[in-house]
Amino acid sequence: MLVAKTINEFKIARKELKGIIGFVPTMGALHKGHLSLIQKAKEENEHVIVSIFVNPTQFLEGEDLDKYPKKEIADKEICSVAGVDILFMPTAQDMYSDDELKLLAPKVRGYVLDGFNRPGHFDGVLQVVMKLLNLVNPNNAYFGKKDAQQLSLISQMAKNYFLGANIVPCDIVRDSDGLALSSRNIYLTKEERTKALSIPASLQKATQIIISGELDTNIIKNNMIDILNKNVSSIDYVEIVNRDFKKIEKIELKNTIILVAAKVGQTRLIDNLWI
Ligand code: AMP
C-alpha cells in the first residue's frame, strides 16, 4: 500500500493505477463501519483508494475538530490488511487556500435536520468531497447510510454537477449491542454508552410500531422521544422524512428514513433507519 501525504505524491501514485477505481473517503479512527465500505469497494473494483482527512470546513465553531480521534498507525494497518492500494492523507494546508470558491448545500435538503443544527456543516462536506472526487476521479465512491443526509446531498451534488463517480450507499454497521459504530463512540463513558443504546432502541421501537400497522409518523416519533428522554442528555431531532428529506405524516414503505440526533453527555450521536 502506498501512503500519499501530499497532493503531488497522490497524483503521481494515482496515475499508475489503471482500471476500475473504488474510493472510500473517511476522517480516520477507522472502525468496522469504515472497513465494510472498504471491503465493498474491494469486491466491486480493481483498485481501492481510501482517504483520511479531518476536514476543518465541516466543523462548526466549538465542535470537536481539535480533539477528533486520530489513530494513524492503526488506520494504516487496517487499510493495508484490507488490501487498499493508496491511502491518501493530505494536510489542510495542502487541501485549502485562502479565499476559496465555495459550494452551498441546497436550500431544503441542506438546511433541515443536521443542516439546521449544524449550519454550514454540509457546505464544508460538499466542498471537501468535491475536491476529493476531482483528485481521485474514481468510478465508484462509497458512503455510509449512517450519515443519511450527507449521502443524499453527495448523490445530489454528483447529479447536479455531472460528476463521473457512481455514489454507492452502504448499510449501517452496528456493534453487537446495537449502537451504530462511530469514531465518536470512544468519547462515551461506560455509563453514557449504556444510555446511548436508547438511540438504536428508539429505532427498534419504531420498527415494531410500524410492523404492528401504525403508520402515523407523529405517534411513532412520540414513542421514540419517550424512550430517548429517559436516557439522553438532549435531543437535537427525531424526524421522519421521505428520501427527499421532506417531512411526512404517514410512513411510505421503501421511501422513508427515520432519523435521530441526540447528545449523550457531551457526545453528539446520529443514527437512522431506512424503511
Ligand atoms: P467518517 O470517517 O465518520 O467521516 O465516515 C466515513 C464514511 O464511513 C462515511 O461515508 C460514513 O457514512 C461511513 N460510516 C461511518 N460509520 C459507519 C457505520 N457505522 N456503518 C456504515 N458506514 C459508516
Q: Going by DSSP bridges, is the β-strand pair 21-26/140-144 parallel, antiparallel, or unpaired?
A: parallel
Domain span(s) for CATH 3.30.1300.10 in the chain: 183-270
Q: What percent of the chain has pLDDT over 70?
A: 100
Cβ of 211: how many Cβ atoms within 10 Å? Answer: 8
Domain span(s) for CATH 3.40.50.620 in the chain: 2-170
pLDDT the model gives residue 270: 98
Q: Residue 22: beta bridge partners?
A: 48, 140
**Given a cut of 90, is residue 271 above it in pLDDT?**
yes
**Given a cut of 90, is residue 167 above it in pLDDT?**
yes
Question: What is the CA(35)–ligand 1 centre distance, in A?
Answer: 9
Taking the C-alpha atoms of residue 60 and residue 65, their distance in angstroms, rounded to an integer, is: 8
Average pLDDT over residues 165-175: 98
Compute the CA torsion angle 207, 212, 216, 218 (nearest 10 deg): -60
Q: Which are the contacts of 9, defined by CB distance < 8 A and separation ≥ 6?
A: none
Has domain 2-170 been given CATH number 3.40.50.620? Answer: yes
Q: Going by DSSP bridges, is the β-strand pair 166-170/140-144 parallel, antiparallel, or unpaired?
A: parallel
**Given a cut of 90, is residue 108 above it in pLDDT?**
no
Question: What is the CA(184)–ligand 1 centre distance, in A?
Answer: 11
pLDDT the model gives residue 131: 98
DSSP letter assigned to residue 235: E
Instruction: Please give the backbone phi and psi of residue 109, each rounded to the nearest 5 degrees, phi first.
Output: -65, -30
- Tell the residue number behind the cell numbers 405517534, with chain if given: 219
Q: Which amino acid is at 53?
A: F
Question: What is the CA(182)–ligand 1 centre distance, in A?
Answer: 7
**Structure confidence by residue, pLDDT tens digits, 223-242:** 999 999 999 999 999 999 99
pTM: 0.97
From the CA of 24, give the closest atom in ligand 1.
7
DSSP letter assigned to residue 216: B
Q: Which are the contacts of 38, defined by CB distance < 8 A and separation ≥ 6?
A: 24, 48, 50, 79, 82, 84, 142
3 state SS of 234: strand
Strand order in the sheet with 267-274: 234-242, 256-264, 267-274
* Protein residues whose CB sits closer than 6 Å to any atom of ligand 1: 26-27, 33-34, 36-37, 143-144, 146-147, 170, 172-173, 180-183
Catalytic amino acids? 34
From the CA of 180, give the closest atom in ligand 1.
19
**Given a cut of 90, is residue 63 above it in pLDDT?**
yes
From the CA of 183, give the closest atom in ligand 1.
3
**Structure confidence by residue, pLDDT tens digits, 38-59:** 999 999 999 999 999 999 999 9
Let me know: does 271 contact 256? Beta carbons within 8 Å: no
Can you identify the CATH homologous superfamily of domain 183-270? Pantoate-beta-alanine ligase, C-terminal domain (3.30.1300.10)
What cell numbers appear for 20 in the block?
A: 476500475
Question: What is the CA(15)–ligand 1 centre distance, in A?
Answer: 27
Cβ of 208: how many Cβ atoms within 10 Å? Answer: 11
What cell numbers appear for 179 in the block?
A: 449502537
